[in-house]
Amino acid sequence: MRIREFFNSLTSSFPRKRESIASDSEHMSQQHFYLNRRWTHALAIARRWIPAFAGMTIFFAVEFILFRYIDRPLAAYTHSLDQTSPALIHFFRAITDLGKSIWYLVPCGLATLFCAFLSRGKDVRPVYRRLFSYIGARALFLFATIALSGIVCDILKPIMGRARPHLWLQNGIYGFDPFNRLGFLWNSMPSGHTTTACALAFSLSLLYPRGRFLWFAFALALAASRVMVDAHYLSDVCAGGLLGWLTVRLFFKHGMVRLGKVIFPIDTTPATE
């Protein structure tokens, strides 16, 4: 009897062992699943931030090289062109004011308000409401990117406190004095005109990509004019270009759809009415 009970106890323990093995394997599979999820999430974060970190590292390295070795020699050279090539400097002085944001904010803002009003009009035919929404959304995008980049630029200028080329050419003052200097002569970085021109060029290249070479040529000419007329160093212009591009990218990715739906709601009325 004892031997039979012993064998019965052995055979009865087999299902329990199978259950324990099955539960252990299931637990291990769950751990492996959660571990894979963590690694996948970590890799997704790495793919998102490593290129951004590498790009910012390259940008700061380029800015340091420009600040240390190129800005002053280039400023001295462009200043000498005022005597040797006055026609060239006169050309750049004639076009440099096209980088002022007021030239684009006023028409884009008025177009946005006008189209927003007509796109909601009950007496306007549905096909025209859609047309005004189409035009108004693009005017809104241009207005928002230029305005936002300009606001950020105006905030950064007193924080950076960089002396303009005029101070170095006349008084030998070069460098930064963060938070301590206000006024035109100490707000060189980033270049506001270049920020506006690049925000406009990148925005237009997203809306009308076929003309992107024209948009970028326009922005490049305005950026060069700021250096040629001794208003900014080359590093200031590069910082303004990056600010304009970054503003357009972030607003296009995170802000335009939400804001556009609020101001220009989708018209679902049949176009045949």
Q: CATH number, domain at 179?
A: 1.20.144
Per DSSP, helices labelled H in 161-255 are 165-171, 192-207, 212-228, 234-254
Residue 268 region by backbone torsions, left for phi larger than 0, else alpha for psi between -120 and 50, else beta: alpha
Q: Residue 267 is which amino acid?
A: D
Angle at 68 between CA 66 and CA 70, to 5 degrees: 45
229 within a domain of the structure (yes/no): yes
Looking at residue 123, its pLDDT comes to: 80
11 within a domain of the structure (yes/no): no
Looking at residue 21, its pLDDT comes to: 47
The residue segments making up the domain with residue 87 are 71-263
4 within a domain of the structure (yes/no): no
Per the structure block, which two tokens stand in for 166? Answer: 């005029």
Looking at residue 48, its pLDDT comes to: 72
34 within a domain of the structure (yes/no): no
Looking at residue 59, its pLDDT comes to: 94
Q: Other CB atoms closer than 10 Å to residue 178's CB: what's the count?
A: 11
DSSP reduced 3-state for 163:
coil
Looking at residue 14, its pLDDT comes to: 46
Regions of the chain where pLDDT drops below 70: 1-39, 41-44, 46, 266-273
27 within a domain of the structure (yes/no): no
Closest CA to 251 of 135, 116, 148: 148
Closest CA to 248 of 187, 203, 182, 218: 203
State residue 203 phi and psi, 5-degree precision: -65, -45
178 within a domain of the structure (yes/no): yes
183 within a domain of the structure (yes/no): yes
Looking at residue 41, its pLDDT comes to: 64
Structural domains counted in the chain: 1
149 within a domain of the structure (yes/no): yes
Q: Tell me how far apart the alpha carbons of residues 216 and 195 are, in angstroms, rounded to a whole number.
A: 13
